[in-house]
Amino acid sequence: MLTSERMDIDKIADQLNRDGYALLPGLMPPSYLEAVRSRIAAIVSEEGDAAGSEFKQEPGAVRLANLVDKGEEFEQLVSNPTVLGYVAQVLGPDFKLGSLNYRSAHPNEGGLQPLHVDMGLLADDSGFRTCNTIWLLDDFTPENGATRVVPGTHTSRQRPQDTMPDANAPHPDEVLVTGKAGDVVVMNAHTWHGGTTNHTTRERRALHGFYVRRDVPQQQYQKKLLRQETQQRLSPDLRRILALDDPLNDELCASGTQLSGFLK
C-alpha cells in the first residue's frame, strides 16, 4: 500500500512531467530560511548598486549572482538530495549547476518579466536541457509578483517570444505559482514562465538554483567565478555538481557567453 508520503512524491513527479513544474512544500526549515534571508540581506547591502553585475541586472528587481561563492548556507541548497532527485527526473542523471542567483521583485509595481524559457534554450532530441528551482524566501501570493507559468509548454519546443505578439502580456493558459516561504518550486526551464508584477509594498524574494544538462554551458562558469578558497573547501560531491573538474564544461564555457532567457 502507498503511504501518503509516497503518494505525494508520485503526485509531484507526475505534475512535473505533465505541467513542467511542481511545488515541494516546506523544504526549508524555519532556522535555515532565516539564515538564508539574513545572509542575502547582508550581501545586498554590501554589493549596493553592483548587485547582480557578475551576471545581469534587471530593472524592477534586485538580483544577486554567483551565490555559491558568497555563503556556506548555499552549499547545502544546491546539493539538496530531494531537489536533485526531481532535477534528475527532468534532465537525466548527468547534470550540473548552471548558476545560483537571487531575485527580489521590487515593491510597488516592480518585477514583471516577459514569458521566457531560461537561457532561451529548447529541448533537443536528447531531451530536456535546463531545470530551475525556485526557493521561496517569502510567501508567493497573487498580489506580490509570484511566478507565472504556462503548463505543458515544456514540450512545445517553441519560445514564447516567437509565437506571442507580446510576451509581457498575460497568456490565456498561464497560472500563478503560489506557495509559502520555505517551499521550493522545481520547474522544467523549457516551461514558459516569468515573474509577475509585485503590487504590494514589500519585496518578494527568492533564490534560483538553475541546473543544466552536462553538455550545456553553465550560465555562470563556476570555476572562473568561485574564489580559490571556496573551491578548496568543497566536497567531491559539490565539486561534481559545480563541474569544477570537468574538461567538457571548461570547453563549453570557453566562449564566456552568459545567456539569459530575456535579459541583455
Least Å distance between CB 188 and ligand AKG? 13
- Residue 23: HSE in the Cβ half-sphere, 13 Å Cα cutoff: 16
Q: State residue 164 phi and psi, 5-degree precision.
A: -100, 140
Of 79, 133, 147, 249, the residue at the interface with ligand AKG (CB under 6 A) is 147
Q: Which listed range, 34-42, 119-127, 164-172, 190-198, lies at the site for ligand AKG (CB under 6 A)?
A: 190-198
- Cα separations in angstroms, 103 against 43, 58, 128, 196: 12, 9, 24, 12
- The distance of closest approach from Cβ of residue 2 to ligand AKG in the complex, given in angstroms and rounded to an integer, is 33
Task: Give the C-alpha distances (Å, rounded to integers) separating 62 from 56, 71, 227, 246.
Answer: 10, 18, 23, 32
Q: Does 261 bind ligand AKG (CB under 6 A)?
A: yes
Q: What is the number of residues in the chain?
A: 264
129 near ligand AKG, rule: CB under 6 A: no
What 3-state class would DSSP assign to 253? Answer: helix
Do 27 and 184 form a contact (C-beta atoms < 8 A)?
A: yes
Residue among 16, 77, 25 nearest 182 (CA): 25
Cell output for 139 = 510567501
Residue type, 186: V
Alpha carbons 211 and 184: distance in angstroms, whole number: 14
Residue 250 gets the label, from left (phi > 0), alpha (psi -120 to 50) or beta, of alpha
Nearer of residues 177 and 234 to ligand AKG, judged by Cβ: 177
By CB under 6 A, name the one of 51, 65, 95, 103 that touches ligand AKG. 103
Shortest Cβ 7–ligand AKG spacing (Å): 28
Segment 43 to 102, residues that bind ligand AKG, using CB under 6 A: none
- Minimum Å distance from CB 147 to ligand AKG? 3
Candidate ranges 29-37, 89-97, 153-161, 192-200; the one touching ligand AKG (CB under 6 A): 192-200
What is the smallest separation between the CB atom of 257 and ligand AKG, expressed in angstroms?
16
Candidates 67, 206, 242, 243; binder of ligand AKG (CB under 6 A) is: 206
Interaction of residue 193 with ligand AKG, rule CB under 6 A: yes
Residue 154 binding ligand AKG, by CB under 6 A: no
Question: How many C-beta atoms surround the C-beta of residue 38 within 10 A?
Answer: 11
Q: From residue 229 to residue 248, what is the string marking binding to ligand AKG with x (rule CB under 6 A)? A: --------------------
Residue 181 or 238: the one with the smaller Cβ distance to ligand AKG is: 181
Here the cell at position 259 is 545567456
Give the count of residues interacting with ligand AKG (CB under 6 A).
Answer: 9
